[in-house]
Amino acid sequence: MTTHAFIDIAAESRTDARVPPRAGRDWALFLDIDGTLLDIASTPGSVRVPPSLPRLVETIAGLLDGALALVSGRAIADIDRLFDPLALPTAGQHGGEIRPRAGGVARRVRAESAIDDHVRAGIERLARQAPRIRVEDKGLSVAFHYRYAPQLREWLHRHLERIATTAASPLRILEGRMVWELLPVGHDKGTAVDEFMRAPPFLGRVPIFVGDDVTDEDGCLAAIRHGGHALRVGPRRVLDRPIAFADPGAVRHWLAQLPAMLLAPDACRT
Ligand SMILES: [Mg+2]
């Protein structure tokens, strides 16, 4: 693998606010996607994956003996489309579904969905009332994007609270960037990290969670609980962590340096 393969990523270099810890071959890397690996776009479907990113991520995963997972609010099927042809260890829908091993089968953490017919009926009513809100049904969770109607943020939250309190199974409401998400309680990015860390290739490694949003806080806490680090991307609050990367471009620049760092003689297991 030559460095020039990642030139389109390295060219996007940014200045880091805080130098990340020294990379080790004993790391387990957990990467959020939107706002961390990829620049935020106006809709989830319009994000751009830099052409060399999948291969770079695959190279790093190889150097970590496979201990690299994507941890996102997106559904795993959607993540696989973005990172095709990779099928990395992945947690989707905020830990609602998980593929513990590369190339393995993705499974739901709970057999039944908490988004039942009653909840769906409430969501359909809401969508009819506010057609400018984009409703994204991911199966285990539903996202309500209000980017095109930001004035409806509070109105939307009130309605989602009403839906959540009348649901048969407990639901919680999570805020992301210009989006509210309705999802079951009982799993989050932290429970996903816990599950990955229970088995090889993650077991016994130092977890590093990289995320940009409050939705990453559970994952960050889990990484710290397992003796690792949480690295924040950008200006949004993540556990009051200092900013490690100014933006996704800085994360990609750092990732482009990682293969060399991990192959350096002094990067052996710490
Ligand atoms: Mg994010």
Per-residue pLDDT of 81-134, as tens digits, reads: 999 999 999 999 999 999 999 999 998 887 677 788 899 999 999 999 999 999
Secondary structure (3-state) at 91:
strand
Per-residue pLDDT of 161-216, as tens digits, reads: 999 998 888 899 999 889 999 998 889 999 999 999 999 999 999 999 999 998 99
Q: Report whether CATH 3.40.50.300 matches the domain 117-184.
A: no
150 CA → ligand 1 middle, Å: 19
> How many other C-beta atoms lie within 10 A of the C-beta of residue 104?
12
266 CA → ligand 1 middle, Å: 32
169 CA → ligand 1 middle, Å: 26
265 CA → ligand 1 middle, Å: 33
Q: Is 93 left (phi over 0), alpha (psi -120 to 50) or beta?
A: left
pTM of the model: 0.88
Residue 264 or residue 207, greater confidence? 207
Which residue's entry shows tokens 């991911």?
138
Residues 6+ positions from 51 with CB-CB distance below 8 Å? 8
Per-residue pLDDT of 58-88, as tens digits, reads: 999 999 999 999 999 999 999 999 999 999 9
Which residues are the active-site residues? 32
The domain segmentation of the chain, as residue ranges, is: 3-109+187-267, 117-184
CATH number of 3-109+187-267: 3.40.50.1000
